[in-house]
């Protein structure tokens, strides 16, 4: 009668093929780097500067028409794409127009927006409306990149410190390797699929950092506990036992989170789809990495085996509810 995704007792050997998984991870990380170097990221205006216009019309969108209409304005690089979403009405046609930052200007002037709107009305369809216009000057976008990189480094640093404080440095290193693995793979997939990479994606990346850690910490917590319990068993057995112990929880939590995120992905509208996609990817990769990256590195580094003396920092003195 109960829905059981994971049998009561599992004795899966997670490290039997550890070399394979490790290899796959390293390969994926390298691949991400390569695609990043070759394809780069599809930076949104937050990071590149420029103007993004979301236009709506009842007439079906022909991108060539838009492009022709706008080419006479000499706006430099103009990218036009159609947006599809199941939440749209039947006659709701949405296009995204992206214009590069104009020379010598910070945010684009309202006169230019007016000209673009009237040009489109004259040449494409006179019912075109601009639902949203966003313009970011090159000065700010440069700063936003710096801030974003800083946020991620700061998050990794803070977490490294916290886990080192609560566990041992080997744990911290394992967790942070998993984190970097997750972030690199997320940037990799964004580069492969050329999904727009903007400020919200940075928020998603940091959430992935949080989630992946959450998962890793739960496993590490069990490892720490089992190390106290089984002082004589080899580390590999203790780790396997710990991952098996927590497997049911790992699957349950990942699934509930994914359920919620998938609902948001399909129904939440196109504005945040990229953001939600990053999180879904992050949950999958994060779950994988806590088992196959973080734990593997912990196994490689080895840990201190004598946990018998309760150490004030070691998390034994948590207040009871």
Partner 1 sequence: MLQIELWKRIIIYGLVLAGLLFALPNAFYSRVESYNDANSAIENGQDPDLFRDEQQLWFDYLPSSLVNLGLDLRGGAHLLAEVRTTDVHAQRIKSLWPDVRDVLRQKRSEIGTIRLQDSTPGVLRVKISKPEAMQTAIEAVATLSKPVVSLTQAGAEDLKISSDGDFLLISLSDAEVLATNERTMRQSLEIIRRRVDEVGTREPTIQRQGLDRILIQVPGIGSATELKELIGTTAQLTFQAVIGKNSSSTTPSFGNEVLPSLDEEGVFYTLESAAVVTGEQLVDAQPSFDQNGRPAVNFRFNPTGARKFGDYTAENIGSPFAIVLDKEVISAPVIQSHIPGGSGIITGNFTVEESTNLAILLRAGALPAGLEFLEERTIGPELGADSIKAGKMACIVAFAAVLAFMFLSYGMFGLFANVALIVNVFLIFGLLSAIGATLTLPGIAGIVLTIGMAVDANVLIFERIREEIKLNKGPARAIELGYEKALSAIIDANITTFITAVILFAIGSGPVRGFSVTLGLGIITSVFTAIFVTRLLIVIWFERRRPRKVEV
The one among 100, 249, 284, 301 contacting partner 1 by CB under 8 A: 249
What DSSP designation does 91 have? T
**According to the binding rule CB under 8 A, does residue 304 interact with partner 1?**
no
Closest by CA position to 111, among listed 73, 150, 168: 73
* Residue 318 in the binding site for partner 1 (CB under 8 A): yes
In Å, what is the CA distance from 320 to each residue of 47, 206, 217, 317?
A: 46, 30, 19, 9
Q: Tell whether residue 154 is a contact of partner 1 (CB under 8 A).
A: yes
Residue span binding partner 1 (CB under 8 A) among the ranges 20-28, 110-118, 183-191, 229-237:
110-118
The candidate with the shortest Cα–Cα distance to 176, out of 201, 213, 206, is: 213
Site residues for partner 1, 10-49, by CB under 8 A, read none
Asked whether position 128 contacts partner 1 by CB under 8 A, the answer is no
C-alpha to C-alpha distance for 205 and 211, rounded to whole angstroms: 10
Q: Does 172 bind partner 1 (CB under 8 A)?
A: no
Please identify, among the stretches 66-74, 183-191, 219-227, 296-304, the one whose residues bind partner 1 according to the rule CB under 8 A.
Answer: 219-227
Among residues 261, 285, 293, 297, the one that binds partner 1 under rule CB under 8 A:
261
| 206 belongs to the binding site for partner 1 (CB under 8 A) | yes
Q: Which stretch binds partner 1 (CB under 8 A): 24-32, 60-68, 75-83, 205-213?
A: 205-213
List the one residue from 169, 263, 310, 311 that touches partner 1 (CB under 8 A).
Answer: 263
Give alpha helix (H) positions in the chain.
Answer: 18-39, 45-48, 63-71, 110-123, 138-166, 169-193, 199-229, 235-267, 273-289, 295-301
Tell me which of 18, 81, 123, 166 binds partner 1, using CB under 8 A. 166
φ/ψ of 72, rounded to 5, equals -70, -15
């Amino acid at each position: 009668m109960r829905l059981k995704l994971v049998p009561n007792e599992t004795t899966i050997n997670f490290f039997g093929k550890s070399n394979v998984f490790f290899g796959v991870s390293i390969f994926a990380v390298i691949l991400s780097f390569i695609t990043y170097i070759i394809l780069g990221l599809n930076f949104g205006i937050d990071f590149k500067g420029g103007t993004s216009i979301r236009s709506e019309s009842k007439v079906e969108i022909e991108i060539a028409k838009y492009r022709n209409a706008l080419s006479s304005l000499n706006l430099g690089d103009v990218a036009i794409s159609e947006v599809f979403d199941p939440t749209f009405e039947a006659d709701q046609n949405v296009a995204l127009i992206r214009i590069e930052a104009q020379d010598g200007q910070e945010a684009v002037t309202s006169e230019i927006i007016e000209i673009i709107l009237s040009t489109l009305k004259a040449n494409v369809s006179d019912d075109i409306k601009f639902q949203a216009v966003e313009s970011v000057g090159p000065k700010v976008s440069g700063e936003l990149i710096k801030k974003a990189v800083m946020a991620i480094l700061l998050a990794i640093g803070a977490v490294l410190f916290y886990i080192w404080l609560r566990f041992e440095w080997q744990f911290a290193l394992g967790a942070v390797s998993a984190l970097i693995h997750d972030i690199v793979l997320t940037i990799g997939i964004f580069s492969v699929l050329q999904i727009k990479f903007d400020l919200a994606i940075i928020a998603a990346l940091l959430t992935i950092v949080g989630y992946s850690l959450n998962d890793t910490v739960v496993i590490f917590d069990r490892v720490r506990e089992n190390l106290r319990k089984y002082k004589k068993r080899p580390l590999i057995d203790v780790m396997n036992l710990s991952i098996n112990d927590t497997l049911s929880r790992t699957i349950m939590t990942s699934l509930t989170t994914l359920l919620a995120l998938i609902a948001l992905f399909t129904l939440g509208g196109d504005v945040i789809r990229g953001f939600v996609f990053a999180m879904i990817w992050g949950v999958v990769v994060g779950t994988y990495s806590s088992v196959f990256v973080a734990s593997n590195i912990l196994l490689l580094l080895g840990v201190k085996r004598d946990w018998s003396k309760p150490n004030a920092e070691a998390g034994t003195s948590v207040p009871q509810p």
